[in-house]
Structure formats: structure tokens, C-alpha cells
Amino acid sequence: MVDKDFSNGAAWMAQEIMPVGKAAIPVTDWGLTHSDITYDVVHVWDGRFFRMDDYLQRFQRSLAKCRLSVDQSADDMRRILHQIVARSGLDRSYVSMVASRGQPSVPGSRDPRLCDNHFYAWCVPFVWVFLEEVVQRGAHLKVPETISRIATESVDPTAKNYHWGDFTQGLFEAKEAGFDNTLLLDHDGHVTEGPGFNVFMVKDGKVRTPRSGVLEGITRKVAMEICEHHGVPVTEQDISLADFLEADEVFATTTGGGPVPITRINERVFSNDAPGEVTRQFNQTYWAWHEDPAMSEKVNADY
């Protein structure tokens, strides 16, 4: 049953479903004090979860990488996600599943093994990582001069995380210079990713995306499948910024909007400052696939 109090979203926490605004974690939770948390985000479009298995599997891998252990199985999580979205009544939703380190059973302890890890989930209306008008004209990204992506040896980018210090600094620099968003390089000068998105380049009819130092985005995975579907060769490899700027066309991929055109990076303008043809085609295929029952499942309150 849809409840009006839940129209801004719903959350599941400690066995209870509540309006999203009521969900809170203690100030001493290590998820908050140490960003010691992992999460994943799946979306619902027109009443259907897209690629739920992919998101749940990635989340299970992140839990293992972060050495987090929660009571809920992947099946329990799937059921909880169905229930909160059904309860919210949202037809298009951003749905987050989270596992936090929690609090140590011995107050003040600094031993992560003593923490009581816990799972929670929440959903809100669909979030566009790029504003809709930016999707129409193409995004403008700035590569910051002095900030690079945190080293993979320090924070594993394949376990989705809240360590956004590098992205936040990059965002300030980009916004203050009039750009929409930021794109970070690693310490060797290879292109990595931006806050909430992976990137692809198209050059001479071939597609490339950074191989390492990035989250293995589900939309990135789908975009590679779309390449195969359209017979376009695609490879994952290290790409220097100079190589990336040689692209004919560039796009981002994100759960918050699918394949999104990028028309400017720093001073470089791509595809005549308009969304490129490959991106346009991929975007169409991506949204069309949302209706395919093999890739999506209907939100079900009784799951």
C-alpha cells in the first residue's frame, strides 16, 4: 500500500520501514566518523528495477572487499528494496543499499573487528547525476590541476565508497571555473572517473574506457554490452589525458542517467560541441533495454 508520508522516499533500518527523513544512524557509527561504509545504488524506471542482479552482486563483492558482514542475505536485500520502493509509491527512483561498520561493542575501542556491522536501505525520487539540460547539450568537465584520484592501494575504487574528498575538491574547482563536473586522473596521469560516473571515448569507430582505478560501473558494463550489440569494438585500457582528448566523441555512464554526452573537457571541444551520434544511439538502446523483462523486474510489494 502506498502511504503519503512516504512520497519523498522510504527507508529500511533495523527491521522497520520508515519515511526516508526519519532514517538516521548514531553519530558514533564508524560509517560516519571514518567513512567506513560501502554502498550500492540501483534504479527503478517506470516501476521496474533495472539489472538488479548486477547491482546486488557488485554489492556482495564490495562487502567482502571491505570485510563487512551483515545479517541480510542478497535475497533479503532484494526483498527489502522491493518493499521500500513499493511503500514509497515512486515510479522512478534512486535506491541505495548500505552496509556500515557500525559501533564497537567495547565503547571507545579502535578495533574494527569489534564493530557491529549493519545494513540499511533507502529510496528517493530518481537522481540525475547530470541535470537534464546538461544531458541535452552535453556535459562540460574540468580535469583539476593539482587533485588526483586517491591511490587504489589506499582506497579500492571497485568497492563503492564514501571517500569523496578528491571528488569534492575537484567539484569545487570545476564549478568555480564554470564547468558542470570534474574528471580525475590517477597519479600516472591516466584518466579515471568522475563523481558518480565512468567515461568512454570513441575514436575512429572504436570505443575505449579506462581499465583500472575505477568503479566497475553497471552502466559501464551495460554500455560495453551495447557496443557488442551494435557491433562496435570496445576495449578497457589505460588512457592518458592526451589520448583521451584526441577522441572524436566522449560520453559518461551512470546509473543516474545512463550514457550522457560529454562535449567539453578543459579547453577541448568534442563533436562540434553537440552530443555525438554514438552516444545518442547508445542512450536510445540503454533506455529501450529498460523494458526488456530479461534485464528488469517489476517492483513488487509482496516480493
* Closer to ligand PLP by Cβ: residue 12 or 286: 286
Residue 96 Cβ vs ligand PLP, minimum distance, rounded to whole Å: 10
x/- contact string, 134-173, with ligand PLP (CB under 6 A)?
Answer: --------------------------x-------------
Q: Which residues in 253-272 contact ligand PLP (CB under 6 A)?
A: 253-255
Q: What is the CB neighbour count within 10 angstroms for residue 223?
A: 25
Element (H, E) at 201: strand 198-203
Near ligand PLP by CB under 6 A, which window of 12-20, 25-33, 249-257, 289-297?
Answer: 249-257
Bridge-partner residues for 190, per DSSP?
240
Of the candidates 19, 32, 153, the one whose C-alpha atom is nearest the C-alpha of residue 98 is: 32
Residue with cell 586522473: 185
x/- contact string, 63-102, with ligand PLP (CB under 6 A)?
Answer: ----------------------------------------
Number of residues that bind ligand PLP (CB under 6 A): 14
Is residue 193 near ligand PLP by the rule CB under 6 A?
yes
Q: Which amino acid is at 100?
A: S
With CB under 6 A as the contact rule, the residue among 219, 263, 283, 296 that binds ligand PLP is 219
Is residue 38 near ligand PLP by the rule CB under 6 A?
no
**Which long-range contacts link 247-250 to residues 24+ away (Cβ below 8 Å)?**
247/201, 247/202, 247/203, 248/202, 248/203, 248/204, 248/276, 249/201, 249/202, 249/276, 249/277, 249/278, 249/279, 250/199, 250/200, 250/201, 250/202, 250/276
Bridge-partner residues for 16, per DSSP?
13
With CB under 6 A as the contact rule, the residue among 6, 197, 270, 286 that binds ligand PLP is 197
Could you list the residues that contact ligand PLP (CB under 6 A)? 41, 160, 193, 196-198, 215, 217-220, 253-255
